[in-house]
Amino acid sequence: MPIVEIHIFPPLSYKMTSKRVGALIIKKQIQPDTTLVDLLDRLDEENHDAWQKLYNRNKKKMRPPVTTILNGKALSPSVLVHTVLTDGDQIKLILVFAGG
């Protein structure tokens, strides 16, 4: 069965767990043709209290300013629904800071 990894980096990881050990890595088995939104919906269903801070299940989008990176490439929020995952994919969730 295909497995993907979700890496959640601080300070986002601190919202997911009380342990402040840096990046949180979650490994999940997926079915063929699972999209990134399918996976995010499943994670939200398993632990809604934690995921509601990062992901809006109704809108099928990450909450700003969370950026999603798949295998080293930043994804536009509009493509999460159409992005099919495959075995070994690595998803990174990071907080984007801006200013000047």
**Domains in the chain, CATH or no CATH each:** 3-95 (3.10.20.30)
Q: What is the pTM of this model?
A: 0.91
What's the pLDDT at 99? 64
Distance CA 10, CA 22 (A): 6
Residue 85 burial (CB count, 10 A) = 22
- pLDDT (average), residues 40-55: 94
Q: What is the DSSP letter of 84?
A: B
Q: Which tens digit of pLDDT belongs to each residue from 66-90? A: 999 999 999 998 899 999 999 999 9
What's the pLDDT at 100? 63
| Between 21 and 56, residue with greater pLDDT | 56
Q: Is the pLDDT of residue 18 over 80?
A: no
- pLDDT band for position 17 (50/70/90)? confident
Residue 90 burial (CB count, 10 A) = 13
Nearest Cα to Cα of residue 28 among 14, 41, 12: 41
